[in-house]
Chains A and B, each alone.
Chain A
């Protein structure tokens, strides 16, 4: 089954404790991206990757890091999480930006 998986689905952590949210897709897609969803703000792009070892900033990259060492995986790293990063995070993949984005189920992160 074609899908995008994210782990964990729910995470509660404390300020400053490094964490990684994993994202994996099995569709051989070149384009992957991370979004955060906040009430009233819709989805905002954090980072995107056009292919292995090629990443770039989206609209809200501050406080986040990503890597793309393999085509299927695109982890999101929060080196020192802060409460303003409490949000719902989605990973997505597609053949390219102009094609349908396939979204993962989301990761709900709470930073206290």
Chain B
């Protein structure tokens, strides 16, 4: 069974609109959860991570995510997107002591 599932392969939104990118994880993974962003023709960089503590995690570039244990979700949100947020976003979870599993990715497209 897929450990990390991103529910949308593509999300188109208009500039300055809010956006939510959905991620669900299986109970077999640890609750160490991450969101990474990949801008065109670049490697990945960390947006935010949840290891413990407050379930609302704030990251770079105005993004935040909420860890929801009962729904096994870790959705990423931004209240107002910009053209520069166009990228592919990956949810990831630590599995066991040393492995990292990524979701399939969500391509965010911002329309002017």
Contacts and interface: CB of A to CB of B under 8 A. Distances in A.
B63 interface: no
B105 A98 contact: no
Contacts of B102: 35, 42-44
Chain A binding surface SS class: strand
B3 to A, nearest CB: 10
Contact of A45 (B44, B99, B105): B99
A66 to B, nearest CB: 14
Interface stretch (A12-20, A74-82, A100-108): A100-108
A97 B98 contact: yes
Q: Interface range on chain B: under 10, 10 to 19, 20 to 34, or 35 or more?
A: 20 to 34
Contacts, number: 55
A103 B44 contact: yes
A98 B49 CA distance: 9
A58 B6 CA distance: 20
B99 A98 contact: no
B9 interface: yes
9 tightest A-B CB contacts, nearest first: A103-B43, A43-B102, A42-B104, A42-B102, A100-B46, A103-B44, A42-B105, A97-B98, A105-B43
